Structure 1
Amino acid sequence: MNHHRLLIILLSLSAMALSRHTATAVKKIQSPDKTIEVTIDKNNMDIHYGNERNLFTVSASGATIDNRPASVDKWIVSSSSLPQNIKYEMTGGKRLKCSNTYNEYRLVADEKDNGTLSMVLRLYNDGVAFRYETEGDGNICGETTQYKIPLSCKRWMQQYDQSYERFFPEETGDAQQDAHWGFPALFELGKDSWALLTEAGIEKCHSASSLTAAETPSAYNISWGSPARCGHTPWRVIILGSLNDITESTLVTDVSPESRIADTSWIKPGAASWIYWAYNRGSKDYRLVTQYIDMAETLKLPYVLIDWEWDIMGNGGDINDALKYAAERNVKTLLWYNSSTAWTTNGAGGPLFRLNKLEDREREFAMLQDMGVAGVKIDFFAGDTQQTMEYCIELLECAARHNLLVNFHGATIPRGWQRTYPNLVSVEGVYGAEWYNNAPVLTDRAAAHNATLPFTRNVIGPMDYTPCTFSDSQHPHITTHGHELALTVLFESTVQHLADKPESYLAQPKEVQEFLTGLPTVWDDTRLLAGYPVNML
């Protein structure tokens, strides 16, 4: 062995040793393109972007492991990896072929924690993601993560509601002590520097989380929806960069587990006619349902969504007659179900209690598959608890076994399930057009609200806003027809549900009808041309 080769080997071994054992001196770590930098100072991570220094701070001071507090005084970088380049394909969403590159670091807690807690920290070119992990058989039962945002920053945040059906007004930096916000949360940090906070990678053992006010003004704590126990937390996601970077990012699916459905050829994007909006409850009327099937046939929409109370359908036919009528016209059917976890009494719509037990939903979904039903819309979930997350995932898994698409309503926001379970084609979790039925508030606020959603809720995954209403329902709308038509493209949903009544669409000019016939619901790519979130106050 010559001296030159020996020197290279010795240097390589020294570098490995530094990376694994003596890298405590490493304080600054970077994204692959070096635009994002994280400075680790004790248990704080200062976030930098471009020429903006120290935009905000993430305090990660500990967790609860098996009901035992595990505080962290200092994080130590124990190892790092070469840049990882990941490519994958989606069946829906803002981009069909996705790619991302990241640097991954493992941080270990100081000796005070006895070495049982670690953090996996990834720096992408468009953001930062991290999660806590435990060594061995320990389970994390809570965490003390806090985002410290400067008071001077503008922010667009939604007051927490378990259905995520609120507005995103521009907020001041003064945090109320009892305030509670849902994800995502958008912050303007500086000149062309933005951050959007959310989470991803929810598994059966996890609770979803949200943001609550901390004692320090403009600081936000991660708050779990319910107690949970798991060997790792979900990913805490910070999409970072320009407003273009925010709206175009796929970071939520980038950090989520890859697809668990081997054959996705049966998952077909498209538009659907939807009966509920114009009549509040109309799926029990067979003759009315057939009008929406006829509309789908005329406009060549692949789907019709038959909403609640189809189990008591009458006036000339029942659900079997409706399914037959649709099949004869080459229109695929989607059927509504009550999750039977949140609203089951006092007028709750049916069908009820058909999906809660494994054997019941297997039987129900097998029946739907045999009947040629293409998918289900499942409504009224019980918040962000661990039990609800487990139930939602089990529904997705069971539906996939029977080639059924899934649309969650009255449910939590997307947190990456659209990659792991691509049969999840849409999720409500948005203050959508349905609210024209419920209250007069949306009439005057819709235009501003719709101009804010592309930078907030729409960033993180499909949303079933049920757009494009030219006529009025219970409460009028004052947006233009052009505005309404644009929403079908602006808002992401693998199956886009058109909410207006048949006669309204069929009265539109030929060009509009042809546009709806050819409406794309998935995209090769997405680009922000221009825009800025509106101040709704």
Structure 2
Amino acid sequence: MTSPNGKIKVLATTHGLNVDCGNVTVARITRLGITPQPDDTTALCILGVGKPTTVKADYYMLSGKKRHCTNQANEYRLNLGKSPSQGLGITLIVRLYNDGLAFRYATNMNHGTMRGEQTTFDLSQGTPRWMMKWTDSYEEFYPKTTDGWSQDNNRRWAFPVLTNPHSGVWTLLTEADIHDYNSAACLYNTQAPNLYRIVPDKNDSLVSGPWMSPWRVMIIGSIADVVESTLVTDVAPPSTFTDNTWIHPGMVSWIYWAHNHGSKDFQIVKQYIDMAATMHLPYVLIDAEWDEMDNGGNVEDALRYAHEKGVKPLLWYNSCCGWVNGAPGPKWRLNAPEKREKEFAWCEKMGVAGVKIDFFGGDTQPVMRYCIDLLNDAARHHLLVNFHGATLPRGWQRTFPNLLSTEAVYGAEWYNNRATLTNRAAGHNATLPFTRNVVGPMDYTPCAFSNSQHPHITTDAHEVALTVLFESALQHLADRPESFLQKKYKQVCDFLGTVPTTWDDTKLLTGYPAHHVVMARRKAHTWYVAGINGTDEKLGLTVDLSSLQLKGRHTCRLLTDGSLSFKKVKPLNTRTVKCAPRGGFVMIIE
């Protein structure tokens, strides 16, 4: 089985698949199979491979790393059975794209369940990998290792997984297209350090009729191929929304980073509304505990004040399917359909532009169905959605274009909670563009110049660069008004009031996880180039603009660690930008 350009090839063995890129094997899938019971260890045989068909897609995204997405794949259907003579009516659908591989299981169900899976990847010891140990909030680090059993005896791993199986060849493993009868999955390597089995979370959903697993997606190629790929949304179903004119991405002023309980205080909320108006940010987020707001006004007063200032408000809700006892509110307003309808109708009436919904309870099928119900019901009331304390985005941003961001990241919020991020932030920030942010929007809440509960030691230019490096259609700015509005940050504030949060194109110019990254993103005729140093040493970052194919006359402005203003510089195809330890830069090419 081959990709359209012949670069990626898959050989079907008796029980699995061998995946080659060029002339080297980049992945071995040693076991295949799905089972009604999670403890059934039956591996299935491949009984035959059908002739390929061509799959083509040409679509536009309202958010993300690339607006116009095109792709082509060769699709094969493989019959699976318990033995060469015993078929089971289970099909493995395999698609080979020029930048990767996707496969899923399909069968017909008769009021039954499908709880287990035997898909196993053999990731040989010694292969560099960047993996996050699983947590229900997906808020952890992606440390580099070459040994599957080297980290705190952990045996459960989250998507995505980045590997570097051969020099110049990279893979990123994840999943996409979660239906409401699916649970999401993770990886376990309990049997051997090199054998990673896909394990769906709890799922007791009874299905009658056609059933499909989520796509198991492997992006393959150079590190730039991985970062720039849209394969996760390529395999996701298109949206059925008939009207998207109300969906508007943008920057958001955000209260929680500086004031954990600030949304209880009407006067503090007003400061963040004023900040958004002054900086020309379209949105303000009124965070947790707004249902307890006092000190001169309540939430309805705050909503009216935001509209008077020309700022669109977003409101926080507790999903009440994860952390409930001891957690902030408002609570229990979204769980029951009739209560959710009442609440979303009130939001629409009050001019609320969107909702941030927090504290989900992992990857189980009921949680996945709840997320899909929230997205559909929010859309009927013209509400944007930002999921927090939630699962990884798995292509929903194409199917539900009102999903503009998802947390699922160890972000700047953690400066509130522990001192851990202080010394790890620079390397972590330089890893996320190669891992978490490849698969979808990431609400890291970047750009802080002052400190929260625990200090940050990244430079100001590093912080500004994150607003370009990190893709999120709702980009929440972490710092407090009195910090942003200092005279020395005047040009930075002007930039933050105009920088896009969705992109027409994205190019990785150079980088290596945890060390450095330089990325270029285009909006219309303007390129925004940002780079960060993930190390504690001075570093010169090479900026090669030749891949941008710049034509005609253009101007170039540069903000670096040495200056908080954008200075006009001579347009050059290649330059070296000197970065301080944990530093960065932003370049604007018009």
Match in the other structure for 2:463:
484
Q: Tell me which residue corresponds to 2:372.
A: 393
Of residues 94, 97, 100, the one that matches 2:68 is: 97
Contact 1:178/1:212 (8 A) holds in 2: no
Stretch of structure 1 that moved more, 70-79 or 491-500: 70-79
- Pair 1:35-2:14 in alignment: no
Q: State yes or no: 1:319 paired with 2:299.
A: yes
d(CA) in 2 for partners of 1:178, 1:487 = 30
1:110 deviates by: 3.7
Given the alignment, which residue of 498, 505, 520 partners 2:477?
A: 498
**Is 1:254 paired with 2:234?**
yes
Aligned residue in 1 for 2:438 = 459
Partner of 1:191: 167
Residue 132 (structure 1) aligns with:
105
The residue type equivalent to 2:66 in the other structure is R
Q: Is residue 358 of structure 1 aligned with residue 337 of structure 2?
A: yes
The share of aligned pairs that are identical, in percent, is 52
User: What is the alpha-carbon distance in structure 2 between the residues aligned to residue 67 and residue 487 of structure 1?
Assistant: 41
- Taking structure 1 as the reference length, the TM-score comes to 0.92
Counterpart CA distance in 1 for 2:232 and 2:438 is 9
Quote the residue 1:10 is aligned against. none
Q: Counterparts of 1:44-443 in structure 2 under 5 Å?
A: 44-52=16-24, 54-65=25-36, 71-110=42-81, 112=83, 113-135=86-108, 137=110, 139-175=113-149, 179-229=155-205, 231-346=211-326, 348-443=327-422
Secondary structure at the counterpart of residue 334 of structure 2: coil
What stretches of structure 1 of length at least 5 have no aligned partner?
1-28
Separation in 2 of the partners of 1:66 and 1:153? Answer: 32
Deviations 1:171-220 (A, max 9, x none): 22243675111111100010111111110000110111011114233110
User: What SS is found at the alignment partner of 1:529?
Assistant: strand
Taking the aligned partners of 1:489 and 1:136, their CA distance within structure 2 comes to: 46
Give the AA of the match of 1:396.
L
Tell me, which stretches of 5 or more residues in structure 2 are unaligned?
Answer: 516-533, 536-590
**1:519 matches 2:499:** yes
Distance across 1 between alignment mates of 2:296 and 2:39: 63
Q: Is this contact kept in 2: 1:70–1:117, CA < 8 A?
A: no
Residues 1:108 and 1:256: Cα distance change in structure 2 (over 3 Å): same
**What CA distance in whole angstroms lies between the structure 2 residues aligned with 1:68 and 1:487?**
44
TM-score with structure 2 setting the length: 0.83
Query: 2 CA distance for matches of 1:226 and 1:412?
Result: 14
Deviations 1:60-80 (A, max 9, x none): 332214789594553134423
Q: 1 CA distance for matches of 2:141 and 2:154? A: 18
Structure with bigger strand share is 2
Aligned residue for 1:257, secondary structure, equals: coil
SS of the aligned residue for 2:115 comes to strand
Pair 1:516–1:178, CA change in 2 (3 A): closer
Q: Quick one: structure 1 residues 136 and 309, their matched pair in 2 at CA, closer, same or farther if it must change by over 3 Å?
A: closer
In structure 1, what is the Cα distance between the partners aligned to 2:172 and 2:504?
23
Tell me the SS of whatever aligns to 1:236: strand
SS at match of 1:198: strand
RCO (CA 8 Å, sep 6+): is it higher in 1 or 2?
Answer: 1
Instruction: Give SS of 1:283's match.
Output: helix
Q: Which residue of structure 2 aligns with residue 4 of structure 1?
A: none
Specify whether residues 51 and 398 from structure 1 end up closer, same or farther in structure 2 by C-alpha distance, changes over 3 A only.
same
Q: Could you say if the C-alpha distance between residues 378 and 174 of structure 1 is closer, same or farther in structure 2, counting changes exceeding 3 Å?
A: closer
Q: CA deviation at 1:83?
A: 2.5
State how far apart, in whole Å, the 2-side matches of 1:252 and 1:513 are.
33
After superposing on structure 2, the runs of 4+ consecutive aligned residues of structure 1 that deviate more than 6 Å are none
Q: Which residue of 2 aligns with 1:475?
A: 454
Where 1:80 maps in the other structure, the secondary structure is coil
Shift of residue 529, structure 1, vs aligned partner: 0.4
Counterpart code for 1:278: A
Instruction: Tell me which amino acid in the other structure corresponds to 1:476.
Output: P
State the one-letter code of the partner of 1:58: I
Give distance in 2, aligned partners of 1:178 and 1:516.
40
Aligned letter for 2:287?
D
Q: How much is the aligned-residue C-alpha RMSD, in angstroms?
A: 1.7
> Secondary structure in 2 aligned to 1:56?
strand
SS at the partner of 1:304? strand
